[in-house]
Amino acid sequence: MTQFPADAAVDLSLISLAATQENYGLAVVMLLEAAYSFSLAPSLSNARILLPPIVAAAVLVVVAGPALGQAGPSLFFGLSVSSAVSLALLLSASLRLSNPTPYPKELAAGSALVAFLGLASFLQNMFAGEFLALPSLPPLPELPSFALPELPFI
């Protein structure tokens, strides 16, 4: 296992590259899943499943994409937008799972899984880029210590 020094500088260009690929990948996968679900039961009433992925893909490509492409202060904005869109897609897939649908529920479950993984990945990139940090706890106090008495062997 590779050990990294604690004072290693964060390379935002690598985080930018990874987040950009994840961003466009999420947009494409969600669009393909929605199109496939719609193709199994094409109807005007079933067209509503296309709306969230189309809007999400537009936001991911037009708003978050350019911000993620630059390894600078805009990277946090892009990661925030991508995280919010992933959360919205997760909620949309959850609504699809809770309502009756003319297509298999496995497709919506796969969509929910992809959205969750996208959210986790974007949040991980926020922590890796040191845009977010967990609060640190104060050190624990020392416990009192005492010497044990010597017992004779019986």
User: Domain for residue 58, yes or no?
Assistant: yes
Give the model's pLDDT for residue 4: 54
Could you give the dihedral angle defined by the CA atoms of residues 6, 3, 135 and 116, in that order, rounded to the nearest 10 degrees? 140
Residue 19 domain-assigned (yes or no)? yes
pLDDT level of residue 103 (50, 70, 90 thresholds): confident
Please give the pLDDT value at position 154: 67
Q: Does residue 91 fall inside a structural domain? A: yes
Task: Say if 4 falls within a structural domain.
Answer: no
Over range 92-114, report the average pLDDT: 88
- Express each pLDDT in 110-143 by its tens digit: 999 999 999 999 999 999 988 888 888 888 888 8
Q: Does position 79 have pLDDT exceeding 80, yes or no?
A: yes
Q: What is the pLDDT of residue 146?
A: 83
pLDDT of residue 6: 56
pLDDT tier for residue 91 given thresholds of 50, 70 and 90:
very high
Quickly state the pLDDT bin for 104 (edges 50, 70, 90): confident
The model's pTM is 0.80
Look at residue 11 and give its three-state secondary structure: coil
| Structural domain includes residue 149 | no
Please give the pLDDT value at position 44.
Answer: 86
pLDDT (0 to 100) of residue 144 = 85
- The answer to the question of residue 94 being in a domain is yes
What pLDDT score was predicted for residue 73?
Answer: 82
Query: 44 lies in which domain range?
Result: 12-128
Classify each residue of 116-145 as buried b or exposed e, where b means 16 or more C-beta atoms within 10 Å of its C-beta.
Answer: bebbebbbbbbebbebeeeeeeeeeeeeee
pLDDT above 90 for 55: yes
Residue 114 lies in a domain: yes
Q: Would you say residue 62 lies in a domain?
A: yes
Kindly report the average pLDDT of the chain as a whole number: 88
Give the CB-side neighbour count of residue 30, counting CA atoms within 13 A.
34
Domain count, the chain: 1
